[in-house]
RNA sequence: GGGUGCUUAGCUCAGUUGGUAGAGCAUCGCCCUUACAAGGCGAGGGUCGCAGGUUCGACCCCUGCAGCACCCACCA
C-alpha cells in the first residue's frame, strides 16, 4: 500500500522513478512548486538567521562568481531553515549608477541619439524602461540555480523605501558635520565627466617617457632642469621645487624661473617632498593637476591654475596656441615647441603607474571641483573596534588584516557623481550659492525660513552607488521605520562576498551600520575566492574564457558557444584565437549537467582563502555523483516499494550487522557535515557526503543488503530491518544533502519519505539530521572492517590472477582469532556473495593445504587453491610486491623502536601503536613468506 | 616600497593539538554481474618548491631563499 505524503500533482509520479537521471526536467518542475508554496518565507519561529544578498546589478546577468556565492548562501539558508531557524535570505538588486547609465547611453548612441539630446528627465525614463525590460534576468537565473530567497521581500536600491533611507542618512550625517561639501582635487573621469572615488581608480603600469625640460632662470643665464612624465601640465605650473638641503639649488630658492611657452614667471621653492636623488632634483609644481603638487601648493600658498576642460582639452587659461587641444595632442605640441626652443634636454624611457577609470579605462585626471564628501575617520574608528573585539569575524581570519590596513589609512569618501542615474543629492542652492540640506525642498524652506520667492534649485549630482549599498543591511528591512523585521533580522548572521569589495562595500556597511543601528550589520564575513578558468586565468569576455553557469546547467552546442564567445568583442581580432581555444576545449559543446551538479561542484571547490580553478571535468564527476544517488534510490525503491519497511511498531524487527554499521557511519557523517557547515567548510561537507554516499552506502551497504534480502534463511524480521534501514538511511542522507543539491534530493525524497514514515510536502521544510552518538557502534564498524578486508583480499587475487569476475571461487580459510572465525561462520553468506565464492572451507591451523594464492584478513589466512586457476609466477610476483611493501614498513618501525631517544621521549601510546603494528607486520610477513616458499618449491 | 596568499600524484585540490601522505579526474588491466558503463572490481603513480633550524620524530612549527598570484602606496 502506498501512502505518499500530500503528493504534488505530477505526471508519471505513480509510475516509479525514471530509469535515467534527467536533471533539467526535475529542476524546472520543483522550483515552481517551492516558490508557489511560499517555502522560502521565514517561518517566524526559531532563532533568526539572516543573509543579505550582495545585490547584483539590476540589469546584470548571472556569472560564475554569483553562482558560487549564491550556492554557498543558499546552502546556508537551507541548512538553517531545516534546523528550525527563522531563516531569511533577503534578495534584491542594485541600481549600479555608472554601469547602468553607460549601458543605456550606448544603446542611445546606437539609435543615433544621446543622453544630452534627451535631457535628464527623458533619459532617466529610458533607464527605468531598460531596468523594467532586463531587470528580471538576474532573478530568473537565480531561480534556475535553485536559490531560495524570500522573493516577497525583493528590494531595489532605488525603491521608494530605500531612497528614503538614503536621504535620511545623508541629512543626518550632514547635520552632524560628517558630510560636507568641499573644493579639492578629485579623480576625474574625462570620458564619463564625473568624479569617482579612489577605489574606482586602478593604477596600471605602463611604458612612458620621462622628459627633461629646461626652465631658464630669470634675469640671468642658465636654467634648471625638471623631469616630468606629463609635459602638457607644465602649462599650469606655478612653481619649481627643490629639496631644502640640496646644496646644488640652495641659492636659487626664492628666485624665479621663466616658465617656457607661457611667458609666466614662477618661483623656486623648497619642500621636503622633493627627492634630491631622483632626476635632476628639481620638480615642476602643478597644483591643479597633481595630488602631490596640490599639497605642496597648499603648503606654499601657490596659485592653482587649471588648464583643462572637463573632457581634458586645454582650456583658456593656457596660451592660445594650445587651447582646444586634447591632452595627448597638447603633449605632442608642447614637446615639439620645447624642442624647437632648445629647451628639451633629454627623453628617457620610463615605466610609470597610470591611473585609469574602472569603468571607462580612460586616464583619470586630478581635477579641481566641488564635491560632497563623507568624513570617514570618526566612522572608521568604531568600525575598526568591531572587528578587533570580535563582534565581526572575518572568515578566513586573515582578511581582517586587509580590512584594518585600509581602515587605518582611510581617506574621506567622495560621494557625489556627475551622472543622472542614482539618488539625487538632497541639497538645494539659492542664487547666491548658499547650500541647504534637507529631506525635501519644503522642509528646507521651513528649516531655514526661506520665503517662497527665494528660488532654490536642487543639486544636479547623484550619490555614489555604494552609498545606498552601504545601507542595504537595514534599508531592506524598512529603516528608518522601526519595523518588526528590522528588530528580528538585524544584525544579519553572515555576509558572503568577494574580497574585491571589502573596501567598496563591507567596510562601509560596517561604518554605517554601527552609526545608524548602533550594532554591527553582520556577525561573520565569509570571503570567497575568485572563480578562474581551468588554467588559473581570470574569466573575461576579452579572453573568451567565460563559462556561463546557465550553459553548464542546461548545455550549449559548440556553434552557439563559439558565437557567444566571439560576438561583441572589444578587440574583434581576438575572435579567431578564442574560437580555436573554444573548439579545442569543448569539441562537443557542453552537455548540461544540471543545477545540482554545478552547486555540488562549486561547494566542493570552496576551500577557504583560495581562488578556484573551475574544472569542468570535476563537474562531470559530480554530475555522476548525482546519478549515483539517483540509481541507489532506484535500487532502494525496487526493494522496498510495496513491501514492509517496518512502519508498524508491532512487527518484530531485527537489525543486521550491516544495518547497525551503516547507521553508525551515518551518525559520524551527520556530525562531521554539521561541523563543516558551521565552519563554512563547504568543501569538506561535500567530500563527506560524497564519500558516505558512494564509498559506504552504495559500495558496501547496498551490496550487503542484497544477499540478506535474497536469502532463503533470513527471517522476515531481519529483512524488515534491512528494508527499514535502506529506506531510513537514504531518507536521512537526502535531507543531509539537500542544502547542497536541493533538486534531486527533493525529487528522490518524494519517493522515499513515505516508505520511511515521513510526512510532509517538501524536503525543504524537514528537520536537518542530527547525529545520535548512542547509535555509533564501534563493534559493528570493526566487524564490517574485517569482512571488507576479507572480500577485498579475494578480489585482489582474482583481479591480479586475471580470473573472470563471474567465476565462482573455492576458498579455504585457516587460522584467525576466535572473533574472526565467528564472523566467518555468521557471515559466510555475505562473503560468498560479495567475493563470489563457490565454497568456503575452514581448515585447522595445522592441516595440510593445497598450493594456493594467499590473502590475509586480520590474522586469518585466505587460500585460493591454484589448481587450474592461478598462474604460479603471477602469484609469486604479487606476493613479492606485497612482501616488499611490508618489509619496508617493518624496517622503518623497527629502526624507530630501536632508537632509544624515541622510546624514551615519545608518548607511550604512540610507542604502543608502533609495537602493535610491528607484530602485525611480522605475523603477516611470516605467513606470506612461508606461502611464497611453498609455491616456489613446487 | 609595504602587505597577503599559494607551491603536495599527470591535472584540480584535501591534509584537522607535529607520529613520515589522501580524494576526484586522468592512466593501465579485467568485466555490459538483474540500482547505476554517467557503472563495477583491481593496479600503478608523490625525495609534500629549495636550504637550514627546533624535535625522538616535520607536509604541518621557526628562519632564509626562489617562483607564481593578488592587494595597498603620491616618487616627478
Determine whether the distance from the CB of A278 to the nearest atom of strand B is below 7 Å: yes
Residue A10 has pLDDT above 80, yes or no: no
Shortest CA distance to A153 belongs to which of A53, A59, A46? A53
Residues 667-686 of A with CB under 7 A from strand B: 683-684
- Identify the pLDDT of residue A16: 65
Nucleotide nearest to A617 (CA to C1'): B25
C1' of B71 to CA of A402 (Å):
8
- Identify the pLDDT of residue A13: 39
Q: What angle do CA A326, A328, A331 make, to 5 degrees?
A: 110
Cβ pair A464, A440 in contact under 8 A: no
- Identify the pLDDT of residue A76: 96
- H/E element, A239: strand A239-242
Nucleotide nearest to A397 (CA to C1'): B4
Determine whether the distance from the CB of A404 to the nearest atom of strand B is below 7 Å: no
Nucleotide nearest to A905 (CA to C1'): B56
ipTM: 0.94
Determine whether the distance from the CB of A898 to the nearest atom of strand B is below 7 Å: no
Residues 18-77 of A with CB under 7 A from strand B: 20-22
Q: Which range has the worst mean pLDDT, A379-388, A562-571, A810-819?
A: A562-571
What are the C-alpha distances in Å from A447 to residues A100, A433, A457, A607? 35, 17, 16, 55
pLDDT digits (tens, 9 = 90+) for A816-847: 899 999 999 999 988 999 999 999 999 988 88
C1' of B15 to CA of A362 (Å):
46
Cβ pair A83, A768 in contact under 8 A: yes
Contact partners, residue A558, CB within 8 Å, separation at least 6:
A582, A583, A586, A587, A588, A589
Cβ pair A425, A372 in contact under 8 A: yes
- Identify the pLDDT of residue A814: 92
Residue A750 or residue A206, greater confidence: A750
Determine whether the distance from the CB of A401 to the nearest atom of strand B is below 7 Å: yes
Determine whether the distance from the CB of A226 to the nearest atom of strand B is below 7 Å: yes
Cell of A281: 632634483
Determine whether the distance from the CB of A351 to the nearest atom of strand B is below 7 Å: no
Looking up cell 524546472, which residue turns up?
Answer: A28
* Average pLDDT value for residue range A702-711: 92
C1' of B35 to CA of A548 (Å):
33
Residue A8 has pLDDT above 70, yes or no: no
- Identify the pLDDT of residue A4: 26
- Identify the pLDDT of residue A765: 96
- Identify the pLDDT of residue A5: 29
Residues 283-312 of A with CB under 7 A from strand B: 283-284, 290-292
Shortest CA distance to A198 belongs to which of A351, A409, A514? A409
For B39, nearest residue by CA–C1' is A628
Q: What angle do CA A913, A919, A924 make, to 5 degrees?
A: 125
- Identify the pLDDT of residue A526: 94
- Identify the pLDDT of residue A9: 33
- Identify the pLDDT of residue A385: 93
For B33, nearest residue by CA–C1' is A806
pTM recorded for the entire structure: 0.92
β-bridge partners, A888: none
What is the average pLDDT score of chain A?
90
pLDDT digits (tens, 9 = 90+) for A866-922: 777 667 777 888 888 888 888 888 888 888 888 888 888 888 888 888 888 888 888
* Average pLDDT value for residue range A221-233: 90
Determine whether the distance from the CB of A634 to the nearest atom of strand B is below 7 Å: yes
Cβ-based burial of A627 (10 A; exposed 0-12, middle 13-18, buried ≥19): middle
C1' of B2 to CA of A354 (Å):
20
At A578, the pLDDT band (50, 70, 90 cuts) reads: confident
At A750, the pLDDT band (50, 70, 90 cuts) reads: very high
DSSP reduced 3-state for A468: helix
Q: Which of the nucleotides in strand B have any atom less than 7 Å away from a protein CB atom?
A: 3-6, 11-15, 19-20, 23-26, 29-31, 33, 35-36, 38-44, 55-57, 69-76
Residue A728 has pLDDT above 80, yes or no: yes
pLDDT digits (tens, 9 = 90+) for A282-305: 999 999 999 999 999 999 999 999
β-bridge partners, A195: A188
Q: What angle do CA A898, A902, A906 make, to 5 degrees?
A: 140
- Identify the pLDDT of residue A888: 82
- Identify the pLDDT of residue A618: 87
Nucleotide nearest to A614 (CA to C1'): B12
Determine whether the distance from the CB of A878 to the nearest atom of strand B is below 7 Å: no
- Identify the pLDDT of residue A12: 36
Residues 723-742 of A with CB under 7 A from strand B: none
pLDDT digits (tens, 9 = 90+) for A352-395: 888 999 888 899 999 999 999 999 999 999 999 999 999 999 98
Residues 460-499 of A with CB under 7 A from strand B: 499
C1' of B76 to CA of A890 (Å):
70
pLDDT digits (tens, 9 = 90+) for A322-351: 999 999 999 999 999 999 999 998 998 888
Shortest CA distance to A467 belongs to which of A201, A203, A199, A202? A199
- Identify the pLDDT of residue A639: 93
pLDDT digits (tens, 9 = 90+) for A201-212: 988 888 888 899
* Average pLDDT value for residue range A95-106: 91
Determine whether the distance from the CB of A452 to the nearest atom of strand B is below 7 Å: no
* Average pLDDT value for residue range A731-757: 95
Shortest CA distance to A159 belongs to which of A190, A192, A135, A138? A135
pLDDT digits (tens, 9 = 90+) for A651-688: 899 999 999 999 999 999 999 999 999 999 999 999 99
State how far the Cα of A273 lies from the Cα of A318, in Å rounded to an integer: 27
Residue A261 falls in which region: left (phi positive, over 0), alpha (psi -120 to 50) or beta: left
Which spans in A97-226 are helix H?
A: 97-110, 115-118, 120-134, 137-145, 160-175
Amino acid at each position: 500500500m502506498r501512502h505518499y505524503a500530500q503528493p504534488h500533482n505530477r505526471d508519471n509520479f505513480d509510475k516509479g522513478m525514471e530509469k535515467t537521471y534527467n536533471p533539467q526536467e526535475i529542476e524546472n518542475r520543483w522550483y515552481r512548486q517551492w516558490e508557489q508554496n511560499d517555502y522560502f518565507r521565514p517561518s517566524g519561529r526559531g532563532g533568526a538567521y539572516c543573509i543579505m544578498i550582495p545585490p547584483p546589478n539590476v540589469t546584470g546577468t548571472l556569472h560564475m562568481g554569483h553562482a558560487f556565492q549564491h550556492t554557498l548562501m543558499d546552502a546556508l539558508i537551507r541548512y538553517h531553515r531545516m534546523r528550525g531557524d527563522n531563516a531569511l535570505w533577503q534578495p534584491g538588486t542594485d541600481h549600479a549608477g555608472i554601469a547602468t547609465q553607460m549601458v543605456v547611453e550606448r544603446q542611445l548612441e546606437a539609435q543615433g541619439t544621446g543622453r544630452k539630446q534627451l535631457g535628464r528627465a527623458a533619459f532617466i525614463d529610458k533607464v527605468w524602461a531598460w531596468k523594467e525590460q532586463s531587470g528580471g534576468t538576474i532573478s530568473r537565473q537565480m531561480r534556475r540555480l535553485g536559490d531560495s530567497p524570500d522573493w516577497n521581500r525583493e528590494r531595489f536600491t532605488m525603491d521608494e523605501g530605500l531612497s528614503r533611507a538614503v536621504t535620511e542618512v545623508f541629512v543626518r550625517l550632514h547635520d552632524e558635520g560628517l558630510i560636507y561639501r568641499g573644493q579639492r582635487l578629485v579623480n576625474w573621469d574625462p570620458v564619463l565627466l564625473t568624479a569617482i572615488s579612489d577605489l574606482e581608480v586602478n593604477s596600471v603600469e605602463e611604458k612612458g617617457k620621462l622628459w627633461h625640460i629646461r626652465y631658464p632662470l630669470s634675469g640671468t643665464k642658465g636654467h634648471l632642469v625638471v623631469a616630468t612624465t606629463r609635459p602638457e601640465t607644465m602649462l599650469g605650473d606655478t612653481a619649481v621645487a627643490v629639496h631644502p638641503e640640496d646644496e646644488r639649488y640652495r641659492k636659487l630658492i626664492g628666485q624665479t624661473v621663466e616658465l617656457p611657452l607661457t611667458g609666466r614667471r614662477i618661483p623656486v621653492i623648497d619642500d621636503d617632498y622633493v627627492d634630491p636623488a631622483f632626476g635632476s632634483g628639481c620638480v615642476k609644481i602643478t597644483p591643479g593637476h597633481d595630488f602631490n603638487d596640490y599639497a605642496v601648493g597648499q603648503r606654499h600658498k601657490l596659485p592653482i591654475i587649471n588648464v583643462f576642460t572637463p573632457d581634458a582639452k586645454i582650456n583658456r587659461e593656457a596660451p592660445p596656441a594650445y587651447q582646444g587641444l586634447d591632452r595627448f595632442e597638447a603633449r605632442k605640441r608642447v614637446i615639439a615647441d620645447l624642442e624647437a626652443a632648445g629647451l628639451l634636454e633629454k627623453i628617457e624611457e620610463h615605466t610609470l603607474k597610470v591611473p585609469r577609470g574602472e569603468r571607462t579605462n580612460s586616464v583619470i585626471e586630478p581635477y579641481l571641483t566641488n564635491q560632497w564628501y563623507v568624513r570617514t575617520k570618526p566612522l572608521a574608528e568604531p568600525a575598526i573596534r568591531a572587528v578587533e573585539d570580535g563582534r565581526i569575524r572575518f572568515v578566513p581570519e586573515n582578511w581582517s588584516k586587509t580590512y584594518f590596513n585600509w581602515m587605518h589609512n582611510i581617506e574621506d569618501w567622495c560621494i557625489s557623481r556627475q551622472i543622472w542615474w542614482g539618488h539625487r543629492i538632497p541639497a538645494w542652492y539659492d542664487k547666491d550659492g548658499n547650500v541647504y540640506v534637507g529631506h525635501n525642498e519644503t522642509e528646507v524652506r521651513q528649516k531655514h525660513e526661506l520665503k517662497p520667492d527665494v528660488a532654490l534649485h536642487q543639486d544636479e549630482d547623484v550619490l555614489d552607488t555604494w552609498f545606498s549599498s552601504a545601507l542595504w543591511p537595514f534599508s531592506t528591512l524598512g529603516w528608518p521605520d522601526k519595523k518588526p523585521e528590522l528588530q528580528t533580522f538585524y544584525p544579519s548572521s553572515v555576509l558572503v562576498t568577494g574580497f574585491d569589495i571589502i573596501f567598496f562595500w563591507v567596510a562601509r556597511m560596517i561604518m554605517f551600520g554601527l552609526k545608524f543601528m548602533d550594532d554591527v550589520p553582520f556577525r561573520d564575513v565569509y570571503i570567497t575566492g575568485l572563480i578562474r578558468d581551468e588554467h588559473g586565468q581570470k574569466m573575461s569576455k576579452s579572453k573568451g574564457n567565460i563559462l556561463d553557469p546557465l550553459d553548464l546547467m542546461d548545455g550549449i552546442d559548440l556553434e552557439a558557444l563559439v558565437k557567444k564567445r566571439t560576438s561583441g568583442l572589444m578587440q574583434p581580432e581576438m575572435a579567431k584565437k578564442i574560437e580555436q581555444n573554444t573548439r579545442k576545449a569543448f569539441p562537443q559543446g557542453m552537455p548540461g549537467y544540471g543545477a545540482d551538479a554545478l552547486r555540488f561542484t562549486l561547494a566542493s571547490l570552496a576551500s577557504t582563502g583560495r581562488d578556484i580553478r573551475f574544472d569542468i571535468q570535476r563537474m562531470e564527476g559530480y554530475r555522476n555523483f548525482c546519478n549515483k544517488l539517483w540509481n541507489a534510490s532506484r535500487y532502494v525503491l525496487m526493494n522496498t516499494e510495496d513491501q514492509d519497511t517496518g512502519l508498524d511498531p508491532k512487527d518484530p524487527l531485527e537489525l543486521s550487522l550491516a544495518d547497525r554499521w551503516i547507521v553508525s557511519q551515518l551518525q559520524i557523517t551527520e556530525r562531521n557535515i554539521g561541523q563543516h557547515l558551521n565552519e563554512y567548510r563547504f568543501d569538506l561537507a561535500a567530500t563527506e557526503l560524497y564519500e558516505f554516499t558512494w564509498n559506504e552506502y552504495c559500495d558496501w551497504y547496498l551490496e550487503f543488503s542484497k544477499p540478506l534480502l535474497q536469502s532463503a534463511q533470513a527471517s522476515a524480521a531481519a529483512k524488515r530491518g534491512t528494508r527499514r534501514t535502506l529506506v531510513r538511511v537514504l531518507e536521512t542522507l537526502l535531507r543531509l544533502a539537500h542544502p547542497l543539491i536541493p533538486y534531486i534530493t527533493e525529487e528522490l525524497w518524494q519517493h522515499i519519505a513515505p516508505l520511511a514514515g515521513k510526512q510532509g510536502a517538501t524536503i525543504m521544510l524537514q528537520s536537518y539530521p542530527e547525529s545520535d552518538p548512542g547509535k555509533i557502534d564501534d563493534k559493528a564498524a570493526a566487524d564490517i572492517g574485517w569482512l571488507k578486508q576479507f572480500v577485498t583480499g579475494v578480489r585482489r587475487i582474482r583481479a591480479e590472477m586475471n580470473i573472470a569476475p563471474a567465476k565462482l571461487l573455492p576458498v579455504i580459510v585457516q587460522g584467525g582469532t576466535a572473533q574472526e572465525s565467528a564472523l566467518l561462520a555468521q557471515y559466510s553468506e555475505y562473503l560468498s556473495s560479495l567475493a563470489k565464492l563457490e565454497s568456503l572451507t575452514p581448515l585447522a591451523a595445522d592441516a595440510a593445504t593445497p598450493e594456493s594464492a594467499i590473502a590475509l584478513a586480520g590474522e586469518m589466512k585466505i587460500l585460493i587453491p591454484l589448481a587450474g586457476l592461478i598462474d604460479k609466477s603471477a602469484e609469486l610476483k604479487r606476493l613479492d610486491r606485497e612482501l616488499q611493501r611490508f618489509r619496508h614498513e617493518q624496517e622503518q618501525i623497527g629502526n624507530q623502536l630501536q632508537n632509544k631517544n624515541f622510546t624514551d621521549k615519545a608518548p607511550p601510546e604512540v610507542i604502543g601503536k608502533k609495537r602493535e603494528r610491528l607484530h602485525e607486520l611480522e605475523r603477516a610477513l611470516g605467513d606470506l613468506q612461508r606461502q611464497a616458499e611453498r609455491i616456489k618449491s613446487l
